[in-house]
Amino acid sequence: MSLGRTEVRSELLNDFASLMRQELEELAAQSATSAQSRQPVELDQQSVGRISRVDAMQVQALAQTVEKRRQARVALLHRALRKIETGEYGVCEGCEEDIAEGRLRVDPAARHCVRCAEHAR
């Protein structure tokens, strides 16, 4: 028995939503794991040498940058999940054409088709 177009689309949307929820869980776990490295660096110069403190500050800055990127990705994933709910998912925000399924499989939170994404660079 073959599935109709609506059933196929519904199944694909469920697949993409599942992929995005899984990625959100992974990002939350990564964020929790790296929370310690984002904490303020101790000012006690006697417990940590000057060079070690500079290294710790660099690690902290890197961890904060990674966390900002992680949070931006979380926001994109939530936005894409809302688009599924409103029936707008898979439509390019640039040209309003459908985004290719292959592109969505690579990045379920993609906001633009390949052509518009290339022009945006």
Q: Which residues contact 30 (CB under 8 A, 6 or more apart)?
A: 70
What is the per-residue DSSP string for 32-74? HHTTGGGSPPP--TTTS-HHHHHHHHHHHHHHHHHHHHHHHHH
pLDDT for residue 2: 34
pLDDT for residue 4: 42
- pLDDT in tens for each of the 121 residues of the chain? 333 455 658 899 999 999 999 999 999 999 988 777 666 655 555 555 666 778 878 888 888 899 999 999 999 999 999 999 999 999 999 999 999 999 999 999 999 999 999 998 7
| The model's pTM | 0.79
